[in-house]
């Protein structure tokens, strides 16, 4: 995968396949600590300890349409390449937390990429899911909660063209104000 936003998309799609109704995505860029952290927390079916360990094996998958599962192993490799690590915490029936850390300034750290379009894709592709996004950088925070957005919209769907356009503008503006990379 070319950038971290695609890894986020992949992990969240896995969360949704595991029955998640709520997914939290957190990005923290701490320049003074030279660290970037991406955390994805879901309320899906979760995994036992053995399955969580196997999830990092590229030849293990629970999917029946292919015989490999590369999402988490590729993210783990991206972390390792930039002096970071990947950690998975999960409990059956309780959900899963994936935490990826990176040395922010490392030459091999992938760029964050187009997080705006990743969020839009998730919001309009899965309007029934509550999606929370929080991005922190140098004391500033941009956050988005689809529960609040849906409450404000009432009967207007998230995928209405004028809503999608407004969401793109809102997210882009929030990320620019943050100075997000």
Write the pLDDT tens digit of every residue in 133-167. Answer: 999 999 999 999 999 999 999 999 999 999 999 99
With pLDDT > 90 as the criterion, what percentage of the chain qualifies?
Answer: 80
Residue 64 has pLDDT above 90, yes or no: no
Residue 67 has pLDDT above 50, yes or no: no
Distant-in-sequence, close-in-space partners of 72: CB < 8 Å, separation ≥ 6: 11, 14, 55, 56, 86, 88, 98
pLDDT of residue 181: 54
The CB density around residue 92, as the number of other CB atoms within 10 Å, is 11
pTM of the model: 0.90
Average pLDDT, the chain: 90
The full DSSP string for 57-84 is -TT--S-SS-S---HHHHHHHHHHHTT-
pLDDT-derived band of residue 65, with 50, 70 and 90 as boundaries? Answer: very low
Q: Hey, what domains does the chain have and what are their CATH numbers?
A: 4-178 (3.30.565.10)
Mean pLDDT, residues 95-113 taken together: 96
């Amino acid at each position: 995968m070319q950038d971290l936003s695609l890894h986020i998309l992949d992990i969240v799609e896995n969360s949704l396949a595991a029955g998640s109704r709520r997914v939290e995505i957190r990005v923290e860029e701490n320049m003074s600590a030279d660290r970037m952290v991406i955390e994805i927390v879901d309320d899906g079916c979760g995994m036992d300890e053995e399955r969580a360990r196997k999830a990092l094996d590229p030849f293990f998958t629970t999917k029946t349409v292919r015989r490999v599962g590369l999402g988490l192993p590729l993210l783990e490799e991206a972390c390792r390449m930039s002096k970071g690590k990947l950690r998975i915490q999960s409990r059956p029936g309780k959900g899963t937390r994936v935490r990826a850390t990176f040395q922010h300034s490392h030459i091999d750290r992938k760029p964050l990429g187009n997080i705006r379009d990743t969020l839009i894709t998730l919001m309009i592709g899965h309007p029934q899911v509550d999606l929370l996004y929080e991005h922190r950088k140098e004391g500033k925070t941009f956050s988005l909660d689809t529960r609040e957005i849906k409450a404000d919209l009432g009967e207007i769907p998230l995928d209405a063209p004028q809503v999608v356009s407004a969401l793109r503008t809102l997210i882009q503006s929030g990320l620019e104000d943050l100075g997000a990379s």
